[in-house]
Structure 1
Amino acid sequence: MSLTDRTVVVTGGTGGIGKEIARALAGLGARVIVTGRDPHRAATVVDELRVGTGNPAVDAVCADITRQRDLRALARAVTDRCGSLYALVNNAGVNPARRELTEDGVETAFAGNVLAPYLLTRLLLPALERTRRDGGGVARVVNTAGGVPRGRLDPDNLQAEKAFSGWVTDTQYNRSKLAMMAMTRTLAERVDAAGVAVVVAYPGHAHTEMNRSLPLGAYPRLLRPVVPLLKPLMPVLWGDAAAPARNAVRLVGATDAEARAAHAHYLGLRGRFAPWPAATDDPLVRERIWRMCERLTTATGPA
Structure 2
Amino acid sequence: MDNRLSFPGLPPVFVIIYCSFEMFGISIFPKQNGRVAIVTGGAKGIGYETARHLARLGMHIIIAGNSENEGQEAVKRIKEENLNQKVEFIHLDLTSLKSVHWFVKKFNDRGLPLHILVNNAGVMLVPERTTQDGFEEHIGLNYLGHFLLTKLLLDKLKQSGCQESSARIVTVSSATHYCGELDLEDLQSCSCYSSHRAYAQSKLALVLFTYYLQQRLTAEGSHVMTNAVDPGVVNTDLYQNICWPAQLLKGLVAGLLFRTPEEGASTSIYAAAAPELEGVGGCYLYNGQRTKSADASYDEELQSRLWTLSCSLTPEEGASTSIYAAAAQELEGVGGCYLYNGQRTKSADASYDEELQSRLWTLSCSLVGIQEQHRKAY
Give the TM-score taking structure 1 as reference length. 0.88
Aligned position for 1:265: 283
Share of identical aligned residues, percent?
Answer: 28
Aligned position for 2:154: 125
CA distance in 1, matches of 2:246, 2:266: 30
Instruction: Classify the secondary structure of the residue corresponding to 2:126.
Output: coil
Q: Give 1:215 deviation, angstroms.
A: 4.2
Selected match of 1:144 from 172, 195, 203? 172
Please say which of residues 2-11 and 292-301 is displaced more in the overlay: 292-301
Q: Give 1:288 deviation, angstroms.
A: 2.4
Listed one character per residue, the Cα deviations across residues 108-167 of structure 1 (whole Å, up to 9, x for unaligned) are 11011111221111111111111136x87310001011252312323233221223328x
Selected match of 1:285 from 290, 302, 313? 302
Question: Relative to structure 1, is the Cα distance of residues 141 and 226 closer, same or farther in structure 2, using a 3 angstrom cutoff?
Answer: closer
1:38 paired to 2:67? yes
Aligned length: 288
Aligned position for 1:297: 314
Question: Relative to structure 1, is the Cα distance of residues 147 and 37 closer, same or farther in structure 2, using a 3 angstrom cutoff?
Answer: farther
Selected match of 2:216 from 171, 183, 190? 190
Over aligned residue pairs, what C-alpha RMSD do you find?
2.1
Question: Relative to structure 1, is the Cα distance of residues 139 and 226 closer, same or farther in structure 2, using a 3 angstrom cutoff?
Answer: closer
Listed one character per residue, the Cα deviations across residues 228-269 of structure 1 (whole Å, up to 9, x for unaligned) are 3433422332131111111111122133x62312x111112x
Letter of the 1:197 counterpart: M
1:172 paired to 2:198? yes
Question: Relative to structure 1, is the Cα distance of residues 82 and 207 closer, same or farther in structure 2, using a 3 angstrom cutoff?
Answer: farther
CA distance in 2, matches of 1:225, 1:43: 35
What stretches of structure 2 of length at least 5 have no aligned partner?
A: 1-29, 321-378
CA distance in 2, matches of 1:207, 1:149: 19
Listed one character per residue, the Cα deviations across residues 27-72 of structure 1 (whole Å, up to 9, x for unaligned) are 0100000111111111111000000111111101111111111111
What stretches of structure 1 of length at least 5 have no aligned partner?
A: 217-223
Return structure 1 stretches of 4+ with deviation > 6 angstroms.
none
Letter of the 1:214 counterpart: N
Listed one character per residue, the Cα deviations across residues 263-298 of structure 1 (whole Å, up to 9, x for unaligned) are 111112x21101121121222322222122111111
CA distance in 2, matches of 1:81, 1:149: 36
Aligned position for 1:221: none
